[in-house]
Amino acid sequence: MALPIFRQKTTPSAKMQEIFMTATEQGDTETVCKLLDELHITPDIAAVREGLGHSALSLASTYGQTSVAAELLKNGANPCLVSGVGRIPLHDACINGHLEAAQLLTEYMTDSDLNIQDNSGQAAVHLAAFNGETQVLKLLIQKGACLTIVDKKGRQPVHLAASRNFVGILQLLFDSGVDFDSQCFSGKTPLHYAAQFGGLEAVKFLVATDCDTTLEDKSSYLPAHMAAKFDKLNCLKFLIKQGTSIDAKQRTGKASTHIASCHGAFNVLHWLLDNRAEVNLQDNDGNTPAHCAAQEGKADCFNCCAQHDANLDLLNAKGDTPLDTAKKSGHPLLMAKAVANVVMCPLCLQKCQKEDYDRKHPPTDVEKSIMAIRNKAYASPLPKYNVKLGGNKVGLKPDSARSTKRNLALKEVAVQDRPHRDLPAKYFGEFVDPNQTFQFKMK
């Protein structure tokens, strides 16, 4: 039996290296094979133009050039060679969603190689989850990749998927038995991340899987508090509807109103106060939401508290009113403008303008009768919906009987019976001028 002939690999010149790398990126398999066979170029040379030290195999994986990657691997390219940021070719394939390239690379890797982490501690499963690459993640799961591996912040792939609102990834992880109440090093659960980044679909999915909405992070923030902090009103509404108290406090006694005031989240603050959150609620230091807004110089939030009848004479533990706090924090003029309504909460301003308009333009008798009929019509019961977990999202499936009845009703309305601008004048009356002004005939 003849032994294989090993050719000594050479380091190419800068020009030949550029040609080789360009051919790799563009998927020019013929040129790559020619350079490998005739010039005996080492397949593990690294590109230097971008300064990140990507190997030829990394570039092929990044651009999804599977045929080139196959030739490089056949010629001895190392599938676990790391770049300047600590990433291997499989990481690049996961980031860009190249399933075939990822499939090829895993055939040359061991089970432990699948869990190699980059400089930030993220493995291939993290990168696939963060970028929403469901099919690539399925492949990694089939190959035995660890789904509970953590990065340098203690985050699992489920945390990253929740932060990006990728319900399909969450469904896949849920089916694989991942714990949705797992906490990162700062104590945040996937629900915290979903609420923080405003992923309403992810929040709904996580709650539907019975994750714990009462778990606190290391700052004793609930998921609802994260939604309030980052002004994610839809997520906050949903979490409160699911049972979180509107005045729930964290360790220092701050409720969502305090947190929203501190961070200028006037959308959340306005909604909370409109829905009977306690405007004068005090934390452990005696500070109200108005104190918090004054401390941080959030004039719109301060005005929102004032518009909702906040007690601006209430003292905190230091004996300071909200305006005293503003003076000590360097914001006295700004808060004075908020008190004088020179600076206003945008939503409070809209509300005041609407109330003023309604007061100056009361509805006529005809409008009142139309409103009464409309309210009576909308008071009828709505169709029932069945919540179903499945596929890539939490679906709402209408009752089949109602759906069938509605479809039949639609079929009974013929298209030709619907008035249209281009139909004969009998539908609209007779045209009386060339500008398409028409006049109805009374019959």
- Range 244-263 average pLDDT: 97
More confident residue, 213 or 401: 213
Model confidence pLDDT, tens digit, residues 291-311: 999 999 999 999 999 999 999
In this structure, what are the phi and psi dihedrals at residue 28, rounded to the nearest 5 degrees? -85, 85
Which pLDDT band, with edges at 50, 70 and 90, does 374 fall under? confident
Residue type, 277: A
Q: What is the mean pLDDT of the chain?
A: 85
Asked if 286 and 325 count as a contact pair (C-beta separation under 8 A), the reply is: no
d(CA 161, CA 150): 13
Give the three-class secondary structure for 80: coil
d(CA 53, CA 84): 5
User: Beta-carbon neighbour count of residue 142 at 10 Å?
Assistant: 10
More confident residue, 39 or 236: 236
Q: Is the pLDDT of residue 414 over 70?
A: no
DSSP 418: S
d(CA 7, CA 12): 15
Which pLDDT band, with edges at 50, 70 and 90, does 10 fall under? low
Q: Is the pLDDT of residue 377 over 80?
A: no
Model confidence pLDDT, tens digit, residues 178-237: 999 999 999 999 999 999 999 999 999 999 999 999 999 999 999 999 999 999 999 999
d(CA 352, CA 362): 15
Q: Given this model, what pLDDT does residue 301 score?
A: 98
Q: Is the pLDDT of residue 399 over 90?
A: no
Which pLDDT band, with edges at 50, 70 and 90, does 53 fall under? confident
User: Which range, 257-266, 382-391, 392-401, has the best average confidence (pLDDT)?
Assistant: 257-266
Among 2-6, 11-15, 164-168, 205-209, the least confident range: 2-6
Q: Given this model, what pLDDT does residue 62 score?
A: 93
Q: Given this model, what pLDDT does residue 46 score?
A: 72
Which pLDDT band, with edges at 50, 70 and 90, does 443 fall under? very low
Percent of the chain surpassing pLDDT 90: 70
Q: Which two tokens stand for residue 307?
A: 């518009």
Which residues, 6 or more positions from 386, have their beta carbon under 8 angstroms from its beta carbon?
396, 397, 399
| Domains, the chain, with CATH or none | 9-121 (1.25.40.20), 153-244 (1.25.40.20)
Model confidence pLDDT, tens digit, residues 82-118: 988 899 999 999 999 999 999 999 999 999 999 999 9
Model confidence pLDDT, tens digit, residues 122-156: 999 999 999 999 999 999 999 999 999 999 999 99
Q: What is the pTM of this model?
A: 0.79
Q: Given this model, what pLDDT does residue 163 score?
A: 97
- Range 250-274 average pLDDT: 97
d(CA 418, CA 406): 18
Which residues, 6 or more positions from 147, have their beta carbon under 8 angstroms from its beta carbon?
125, 141, 156, 157, 158, 173, 176, 178
